[in-house]
Amino acid sequence: MSNVKPFKIVIEWSGTEDFYFSCDYKNADLDTGTKKDQINAIRTLPFMTKAMGNVFRKLRKEHISFPMFLVTLAFNHRDLLHEIDQLLMILHHHLEKQKDSGTFSCFITSAETASLSSRHD
């Protein structure tokens, strides 16, 4: 098992409901700098982007219909949990292969996108 451990998670919206999820990690035995500016994965997770979009609007103090949000969440909770599990699985898969400190970054979108010139895990 890898000695690399996550220590910081950042969610950065791209201006729409799509967002970047990144996780900084480091090896407790090696104190090296983190690697940035690389997208390690792209995933289409529509339920997660919809839920995070509601969080984003709430943070910006924009109106959301809270009862409708709860109804939507109730109907889609299995799909949302499945998508969260997918994201955590690709993060853990990435961390298992790492020896040094770095950053895992994933672009999360609600719609199918053209493949960027990045490595998919």
15 pLDDT more than 80: no
Find the length of the chain.
Answer: 121
Token digits of residue 77: 């909770």
Among candidate residues 36, 13, 32, the one with its CA nearest the CA of residue 23: 36
H-type helices in 1-121, by residue range?
A: 46-59, 66-96
Token digits of residue 9: 């998670």
Domain ranges of the chain: 4-109
DSSP label at 33? P
Per-residue pLDDT reduced to its tens digit, 36-76: 667 888 888 888 888 888 777 777 777 777 777 778 778 88
Per-residue pLDDT reduced to its tens digit, 18-42: 899 999 999 877 655 555 667 888 8
- What share of the chain in percent tops pLDDT 90? 28
In this prediction the pTM is 0.70
